Chain A
Amino acid sequence: MSRSRLRTRKVTNAVMLGLCGLSAALAVIALLAILSYTVGKGLPAIGLKFLTSLPQPVGDPGGGIGNAIVGTTVLVALACGIGIPAGLLAGIYVAEFAHPRVAVVVRFVADVLFGVPSIVTGVFVYGLVVVAMGGYSALAGGIALALIMVPIISRTAEESLKLVPNTLREAGLALGVPLWRIILSVVIPSALPGVLTGIMLGLARVAGETAPLIFTAFGSRLNYKGVDEPIAALPLQIYRYAISPYADWQRQAWGAALILIVMVLLASVAVRLLTRKRSSNLGR
């Protein structure tokens, strides 16, 4: 081997490793670009009026996203109300009671549901709920979001429950406590950080979903009127404003996007903290 060949190899090594670092940097740069523009363009749009008033027609000043914030809250609450119990129970069933083969099937189905494009979920709920109810509604939107939430929650719940050592269950059983009580009062609390992680992840995900709402919740420029009426939502508003040709609406889109990103960021940080807590709880 000649000395120059060794030098070539070392140069290649340095270059390729550098490219790997550059790749990671690119991802970080992309994130920073998105965050900085959102903050930069969104912050000026934010104000109390913006956060509380209703959208105004084009050209009229003072429009806001008040109803969209309320709408997203209502939709997420509906999604949680349906999705959290369903997801948790399914996760508990797979982790604690199911026959292994049944568990494989349920897990597979949850994975399938997880991978369904959210627009297809929207089409499904349209056919199932909107057509049946005769119109767009918050309920339909909530159901669509719940369908997206359920596999996330059930999978994280299942994994967290499985991490709880069996000795806890055995100790309870030896005392004569029925299994379901043990699960409710001992196992789930132990798995709580993990379960909460799943819930936060699901929340953050559905709060930002637009596609399934386009023809279920549909959006609205009015105040909340009931779960059987169309309802505004932050992501929908952003979408409609972003593709509009009006500068004022585009500005509002950035403001709304900033709110959404802050929500998502908080949820991500919460997830991180919870995960760290879970690791330390298990003495890792």
Chain B
Amino acid sequence: MSEAFVLARTEDKAVAHGMVTEELNAWYGRMHALRNINLTIEPRQVTAMIGPSGCGKSTLIRCLNRLHEVVAGARVGGKVLLDGVDVYAPGTDPVDLRRRVGMVFQRPNPFPTMSIFDNVVAGLKLSSRQGRQRMAEVVERSLKQAALWDEVKDKLNQPGTDLSGGQQQRLCIARALAVEPEILLMDEPCSALDPVATMKIEELMRSLREAYTQVIVTHNMQQAARVSDFTGFMLMAEDRAGELVEYGRTDQVFTNPRDKRTEDYITGRFG
């Protein structure tokens, strides 16, 4: 296992973490899903990936935490650098990577057999043996970061599924934050939520900016414009492979897109 990779993990939050993909390709069996993606995830910024359904946005971020390869027959080519180190280098362990690059999914998926408390520390318990006191501190900190603490602090022992959809999603965010990842990936985190819950999560993303590098996949352009600092626009090519059409600062992409296809998408001519 790559030594540099493990040692690069640091508890010092002053260090800012970023990712770069180099000629990233992905396949599901024989189907080419991503083609030659070259993308930079800037540290402590929110990067949004937008594009029509099926363009490969989700596949892309699942390549960033090596969740793509969990599907049978799935394959990746190219490099993904986390702070300069290729996470796909031979011998690199995905387990450690996934603690460092956290993910929140489209549909909230708290563990139904665990209480709210246990849900939050589910990932934490794997990697370290903490005392109850220390875990309680982590739970409080994570739930506060996820703006859920006030709503659940009196019912931490109740099942994680006893909450509304929006609350469940914030629970999942707290769970992801509890292991102190360096990068937080969010795959359409608000698409299953109502507008009020969505707003809360967008506020959450703004508040997390200081401490975390975030990547969000969204099919909602307005959300991307509201929340992100950088935006990448993807399209499905004729052979159904996803390509990165344009990438840049959000205000530039939305007001002055370089590519006509980007402009068409943003002005609603398709998608």
Contacts and interface: CB of A to CB of B under 8 A. Distances in A.
* Contact, chains A and B (beta carbon distance below 8 A): yes
A6 B6 contact: yes
A10 B127 contact: no
Interface of B: 6, 93, 95-96, 99, 126-128
A10 B99 CA distance: 14
Interface of A: 1, 3, 5-6, 9-10
Contacts of B126: 9
Given A6-B95, A9-B95, A9-B126, 13 more contacts: A1-B99, A1-B127, A1-B128, A3-B6, A5-B127, A5-B128, A6-B6, A6-B93, A6-B96, A6-B127, A9-B127, A10-B93, A10-B95
Contacts of A3: 6
B21 to A, nearest CB: 25
Of the listed residues A5, A6, A9, the one surrounded by the most CB atoms of chain B closer than 10 A to its CB is A6
A16 to B, nearest CB: 14
Contacts, number: 16
Contacts of A9: 95, 126-127
Nearest to B3: A3
Contacts of A6: 6, 93, 95-96, 127
A173 B99 CA distance: 60
B130 to A, nearest CB: 11
Of the listed residues A1, A3, A5, A9, the one surrounded by the most CB atoms of chain B closer than 10 A to its CB is A1
B92 to A, nearest CB: 12
16 contacts: A1-B99, A1-B127, A1-B128, A3-B6, A5-B127, A5-B128, A6-B6, A6-B93, A6-B95, A6-B96, A6-B127, A9-B95, A9-B126, A9-B127, A10-B93, A10-B95
Contacts of B96: 6
A277 B126 CA distance: 46
A155 B127 CA distance: 49
Contacts of A10: 93, 95
Contacts of B128: 1, 5
Nearest to B96: A6
Contacts of B127: 1, 5-6, 9
Nearest to B7: A3
A263 to B, nearest CB: 37
A5 B125 CA distance: 12
Nearest to B129: A5
A5 B9 CA distance: 14
A262 to B, nearest CB: 36
A3 to B, nearest CB: 6
A3 B93 CA distance: 12
A9 B93 CA distance: 12
A245 B96 CA distance: 64
A161 B99 CA distance: 49
A243 to B, nearest CB: 49
A195 B99 CA distance: 51
10 interchain residue pairs of minimum CB distance: A1-B127, A1-B128, A3-B6, A6-B96, A5-B127, A10-B95, A6-B95, A9-B126, A5-B128, A10-B93
A277 B95 CA distance: 42
Contacts of B99: 1
A1 B9 CA distance: 10
B13 to A, nearest CB: 16
Nearest to A3: B6
B7 to A, nearest CB: 8
A9 B126 CA distance: 9
B98 to A, nearest CB: 12
Contacts of B93: 6, 10
A3 B127 CA distance: 10
Contacts of B95: 6, 9-10
Contacts of A5: 127-128
B6 to A, nearest CB: 6
Contacts of A1: 99, 127-128
A1 B99 CA distance: 11
